[in-house]
Amino acid sequence: SKFAIGPSHSEWEGKWISHPTDLESWSDTDAGAFWGNNRQGHQDVACRNWEKRRQLPVFRARLSSEALFDADGGGTSDNTADNEIQSALLVVSGLGSFRASMDGVPLSSSGPLDPPLTDFAQRVSYRGYDVTEMLARSGREEHVVGISMGSGWWDHRPLGGSFIRLFYFPHGAVTCVAQLYVTYKSGKTKVLLSTGDESAGWQVAKGHLRESSLFSGEYIDLQAMAAFDGWDTNSGWADNTSPKSSGKKHDWVQPQVYESDVTLESWRMTLEMKSHARNTNAKHKITPSHKLSPIGKLIPHEIPPVMPVERISPDEVYPLGNGRWMFDFGKGFSGMVRFDDGLPSPIVPEKYPRGHTVSTLNPGEEFITVVYGDSLELTRGDINIAVVAGMGLHDGGPTHRSKKAGDAEGKGGPCYPKDHIEAGSLLQRDVYILPKSGSNGDGQGTPEAKEGSFADARQSHFTTHAFRFAEVCCTAEPPSGVHGLAYRTAFKEWGDFGSSNVRINGGYELVKNAMNSNLLGLQSDCPHREKIQYGGDILADSPATLHLYDMSAFYRKVVWDWGDQQWDNGAYAGTSHWLALNDYAGIGTGSGETVWASAPVVMTARHMQHYGDLRLLEESFENHMKWYKFLLSHFDKGMKAKDYADDLKGYMKEGSGLGDWLTFRGRDTWLTHQSFYMATARSIAYIATKLGKEDEISQALELATSVKNRIVNLYLHHGTFLPPEDAAAQLSPGPEMSLYSRVVPGQERCTVLQGYFRRKGHTWPGSDENRFVQEVSKATLNEMIESGEVTKRGDKWSMGWSQWHGFSEGIFAVRYALKTLSDNGFHNLALSKANGFGVGTFEYMLSHNATTHWESWWRSEDLYSHNHPMLGASAEWMVSAVAGVALHPTTTGGKEVLFWPRFPNSASTINYAWATQGTRRGDFSIAWRFEGLPEEGKDYDSAVVKIHIRLFVPPDGLAVFRFPEYSNGKGVDSTIKYATRLEDIEKVRRLSSEECQRRRTAKEGFDYNWEYDRKENTWIKVYRKKAIGTPCESFLFHFSLDETAWSSTETLAGSSDNGSEIELSPGLYDVMVDEWQLKPEVKGTKDWRIASIKEFYGSEDIGPYCSDTDTFEWNVEDASHLI
């Protein structure tokens, strides 16, 4: 059905309703059972209470023809033409998750996560469904509305968690609210089927989901599912037998109204005191004492629904023995396995494999399990369940045991699933259950007329799993008709990139696949372990996300999520829902780590640049000013309390903070705290400029300049931009962040850049890398030594990370390094980093069979996620520098882009690239390629070639094209012409896309990976064709454009000035650059891969940009460089 927007909160007549059992199964101590130590007894009670309501309810109501067409409502008994139905809108919400249906027809195209996560105590979104056609076409028929429920974020299994503390979320009985608006052609409207109105006749029963968890999956009762077939149709309707439960959980009973026993004010007070954002007092307790949390105002849906966006067939299916089958879907994604043909009957092995034991069922029941994972435990050949363990609850696994056995259930508490203890991890798993033939099942009143079948199994309902691999156990034959359903928030995907370089293409796909996996109603860091919004992750990788998708509604919601979280003292937390996570890293008084907590204000500025949403600025400005004023009052005191001296004396290693998270180096947390304090002030100035608030502009700019000068005064010395203590010189970020964000004074930037080239890499003591080196053949080790991938660390061979031929940087500096190099005349070095090999590169991930970006640059088989986009800002660099299109730094609403392609020294690195950047004005596209390349690849370092560039500006767009310069600063002639008649561009795109898909199907991408020979205990390199990284040319060079009619050619003489630009109006442009000299890439000398680059830091010629007269000062209109 169509989606629609319905009433405001005050216009709702419906009330929240729940199953009576679910309302009765709460104790006052449940809310705070996990809030402190020595609360075992309260946790036991909370667990027993939850077990009573573990089975999920379904709700339904019948709409009679009398109610729909009575005289009072605008209809008449004759249903005359004047009183026919004009429109009908059903509005529904549910906590935790819901799906709506009418007459057995699903209305919710949204997937398993609706409504999306917000602070449910403050706001809950609802969806509207246009059911006009269903009611109008059926005449006098009766109709049944159904609402099926999952526990979602609302009534999850009560677990202690390792670091994901869901007990700080509001929670209560699973509940729903609904009402139907019917408007007649007479103009009258009536509200029907309001929940909480006894005359509406709502019913509730416990359905076929015995448990539904976002983290650990579902228990699906196939017998109950068969018995409930048609439950939401008129033919399946039955009147209530009792207003109370009969004791048989599947009976239909009358629901009760949900009523909270705590106010929002009191709940927030406990959170603020717990976070230290508010002083404790005798009137309010820190530990909450209530049963049912308050539910916030109802609002129309803010973002598109989470929907299936791709149906994925398995690449491979193979047996693991004992009836266990492995399905490899070829890439990682979030969703679930879909069994179109159902499941075969189960078998019982002598011993269930790890992760497939189910010990809590009735003796008369049999089951089939589906276990999900990102990667394989290659020393065993089955799924690595530790790295996808929910809430981080795992023991590391049998091979990489990093925690003592029992650690997972110990931290999880008394409600840790008994079925998961044997595995040592909180599993991503679905369990399909059916009584054995002849058994009476669970004895809970399931009708016996329909026994159910494993052939009826299809998919899980209200959970998603992140996976590439799925194990099905245990059946004699593998299930047929198996597909993966990939889910994501259904915003428009409008960015794309490609090139001739398989590794760089592969890196882009790693980022994109990880992004797709982590955008399900919120932007999560990883889609299995944590699933929550971190401010630092969003700040770091939003440049890539904003390239890939239309995030206008989504990031507006992100800003409001933090607005709901914000404490009364103005402090933002590091996550959009406060979970007592990393509070130690902030400046105290309830504040999150400065970088992470600055996300809402910085994202508001970025949102303005991309979407021009002035209303968001107006409505969020007060919140951001509270944060700004909080920093003014607390930042300097907080930094002193964290033992940062004013002169940084004694600051030799990372201080208290998160900073450039997961760099190979130590983290310069002082610099990141200060820089994002500055970024907050700059963002306030930027927003105030758009709103015309002169006082706030001047105040914020004054603060931003003051913080910038503080950084410069301490860091700028002897031609370097590093902490004053020499021992801190290798921390990250180095100078790259301050160069990019216009902190380094313009007249000093090239000297600082020259000093930057002194940075070098180092050997790496990672446990998985060391084990790998020990488990390769001698011949392979010698090859790795010869290539520079392995060098000596003491007396042992060790892998090493590289500064210039790989990534040493963490979550933020990876972007600043690439952008700074490309923007300042050293694009060849940025390409060298992205095209590198060995630990800390895209190649390394791809060679270890990755299809989604890892959380760390190094291998981790027992800790860091294999599906985590936080290091993924590189994808935006590929688009803006490797191809050459990005929003203009000072544009708003995506009105204008900057075309600025950069080129390699050698065509052997990359010889073509292209990208499309979507905006509200349309899609801007660029493509370039070297033409006239010699036949012999050995001449790719020395030939003189042409560069052919094509640019497309959409009908409502504007662009600036910056012409290429030689790296030696001498000009080069170019010609430009435009199409006098445009071809059908969308048709050309489609034809080009089809050709690319044929190449991907032929698997012309990355072609090898390391595999573990479990018999020989040896790693071997296996050459195998893959789709990931497949090179494809742009539609702008598709042969169907060969007959384009062009204008006369205009010659643009070369100039030694850098940054020569022309403005472009809508159209298709063709640019040819003549006589472009190729040259070798700089490799370095001894230990070249981990060494610094003397050719650059020892050279007097640091490139053309040192003669640039640009003052390098940040412009208050510039959202790209505010941090």
Reply yes or no on whether the pLDDT at 446 is more than 60: no
Q: How confident is the model at residue 2 (pLDDT cuts 50, 70, 90)?
A: very low
Indicate the residue type of 307. Answer: M
CA atoms within 13 A on the CB side of 560: 24
**Among candidate residues 525, 536, 524, the one with its CA nearest the CA of residue 598:** 536
Q: How confident is the model at residue 971 (pLDDT cuts 50, 70, 90)?
A: confident
Indicate the residue type of 1079. Answer: K
Reply yes or no on whether the pLDDT at 419 is more than 70: yes
Are 507 and 357 within 8 A, CB to CB?
no
Are 785 and 797 within 8 A, CB to CB?
yes
Reply yes or no on whether the pLDDT at 408 is more than 90: no
Structure tokens at 360: 């809590």
Q: How confident is the model at residue 1057 (pLDDT cuts 50, 70, 90)?
A: low
**Among candidate residues 557, 486, 541, 457, the one with its CA nearest the CA of residue 115:** 557
Are 655 and 697 within 8 A, CB to CB?
no
Residue 324's H or E segment, with its range, is strand 324-339
**The pLDDT value given to residue 577:** 96
Are 962 and 1060 within 8 A, CB to CB?
yes
HEC profile of 1001-1070: HCCCCCCEEEEEECCCCEEEEEECCCCCCCCCCCHHHCHHHCCCCECCCEEECCCCCCCCEEEECCEEEE
Q: Which residues lie closer than 8 Å to 793 by C-beta, 6 or more apart?
A: 763, 765, 800
Whether a cis peptide bond, with omega within 30° of 0, leads into 96 is yes
DSSP 1104: G
CA–CA distances in Å: residue 780 to residues 839, 847, 849, 1022: 16, 15, 19, 12
The mean pLDDT of 250-267, rounded to a whole number, is: 96
Reply yes or no on whether the pLDDT at 660 is more than 70: yes
Beta 1008-1013 vs 922-931: how paired, if at all? unpaired
**Among candidate residues 666, 806, 810, 660, the one with its CA nearest the CA of residue 731:** 666
Reply yes or no on whether the pLDDT at 38 is more than 70: no
| Percent of the chain scoring above 90 in pLDDT | 82
DSSP 880: I
The Cα–Cα gap between 1097 and 1092 comes to: 9
Helices marked H in 441-530: 502-517
Q: With 0-12 CB in 10 A as exposed, 13-18 as middle and 19+ as buried, what is 477?
A: exposed
- The least confident of 122-131, 864-873, 1086-1095 is 1086-1095
Q: Can you say how many angstroms the Cα of residue 633 is from the centroid of all Cα atoms in its chain?
A: 33
No. of H helices and E strands in the chain?
25, 42
**The pLDDT value given to residue 249:** 79
**Among candidate residues 1099, 511, 612, 1035, the one with its CA nearest the CA of residue 818:** 511
* Tens digit of each residue's pLDDT (9 = 90 or more) over 453-493: 999 999 999 999 999 999 999 999 999 999 999 999 999 99
Dihedral sign of CA atoms 469, 470, 474, 479 in order: negative
Structure tokens at 789: 């991938």
**The pLDDT value given to residue 448:** 45
Going along 17-122, which residue ranges are E strands?
17-18, 57-63, 85-95, 97-102, 105-106
Reply yes or no on whether the pLDDT at 74 is more than 60: no
For 807-832, b/e burial (b = at least 16 CB within 10 A) is bbbbbbbbbbbbbbbbbbbbbbbbbb
Q: With 0-12 CB in 10 A as exposed, 13-18 as middle and 19+ as buried, what is 924?
A: buried
Are 258 and 170 within 8 A, CB to CB?
no
Are 845 and 1028 within 8 A, CB to CB?
no
Reply yes or no on whether the pLDDT at 1109 is more than 70: no
Reply yes or no on whether the pLDDT at 598 is more than 70: yes
**The pLDDT value given to residue 461:** 96
**The pLDDT value given to residue 76:** 47
Reply yes or no on whether the pLDDT at 822 is more than 70: yes
Q: Which residues lie closer than 8 Å to 227 by C-beta, 6 or more apart?
A: 208, 250, 446, 447, 449, 450, 452
The mean pLDDT of 203-209, rounded to a whole number, is: 97
The mean pLDDT of 615-623, rounded to a whole number, is: 98
**The pLDDT value given to residue 191:** 95
**The pLDDT value given to residue 852:** 98
Indicate the residue type of 242. Answer: S
**The pLDDT value given to residue 244:** 63
* Tens digit of each residue's pLDDT (9 = 90 or more) over 479-537: 999 999 999 999 999 999 999 999 999 999 999 999 999 999 999 999 999 999 999 99
- The count of other CB atoms within 10 Å of the CB of residue 234 is 14
Reply yes or no on whether the pLDDT at 6 is more than 90: no
**The pLDDT value given to residue 846:** 98
Helices marked H in 884-1040: 985-1001
Q: How confident is the model at residue 907 (pLDDT cuts 50, 70, 90)?
A: very high
In what side-by-side order are the strands of the sheet with 796-801?
Answer: 762-763, 796-801, 790-793
Are 725 and 650 within 8 A, CB to CB?
yes
Supply the angle between the helices 502-517 and 535-548 in degrees, to the nearest 10: 120
Residues present in the chain in total: 1123
Q: How confident is the model at residue 1104 (pLDDT cuts 50, 70, 90)?
A: low
**Among candidate residues 334, 514, 467, 505, the one with its CA nearest the CA of residue 1000:** 505
Supply the angle between the helices 669-691 and 599-611 in degrees, to the nearest 10: 50
Q: Which residues lie closer than 8 Å to 410 by C-beta, 6 or more apart?
A: none
The Cα–Cα gap between 623 and 739 comes to: 30
CA atoms within 13 A on the CB side of 178: 32
Q: How confident is the model at residue 402 (pLDDT cuts 50, 70, 90)?
A: low
The Cα–Cα gap between 39 and 50 comes to: 17
Residue 44's H or E segment, with its range, is helix 40-52
Q: What is the CA radius of gyration of the chain?
A: 30
Q: Which residues lie closer than 8 Å to 887 by C-beta, 6 or more apart?
A: 609, 610, 894, 896, 897, 898, 917, 919, 1120
**Among candidate residues 806, 844, 848, 846, the one with its CA nearest the CA of residue 1005:** 846
Whether a cis peptide bond, with omega within 30° of 0, leads into 115 is yes
Q: How confident is the model at residue 747 (pLDDT cuts 50, 70, 90)?
A: confident
Structure tokens at 920: 């509200």
Reply yes or no on whether the pLDDT at 83 is more than 80: no
The Cα–Cα gap between 1009 and 54 comes to: 44
* Tens digit of each residue's pLDDT (9 = 90 or more) over 94-146: 999 999 999 999 998 777 999 999 999 999 999 999 999 999 876 678 999 99
**The pLDDT value given to residue 281:** 76
- Residue 922: strand pairing partners: 919
* Tens digit of each residue's pLDDT (9 = 90 or more) over 769-802: 999 999 999 999 999 999 999 999 999 999 999 9
CA–CA distances in Å: residue 907 to residues 945, 1025, 1059: 10, 24, 23
| Percent of the chain scoring above 70 in pLDDT | 94
Backbone dihedral region for residue 807 (phi beyond 0: left; psi -120 to 50: alpha; all else: beta): beta
The Cα–Cα gap between 550 and 918 comes to: 8
How high is the mean pLDDT of the chain?
92
**The pLDDT value given to residue 1106:** 67
Q: Which residues lie closer than 8 Å to 454 by C-beta, 6 or more apart?
A: 222, 342, 343, 344, 345, 346, 368, 432, 434
Beta 944-953 vs 1018-1023: how paired, if at all? unpaired
Indicate the residue type of 6. Answer: G
**The pLDDT value given to residue 1107:** 60
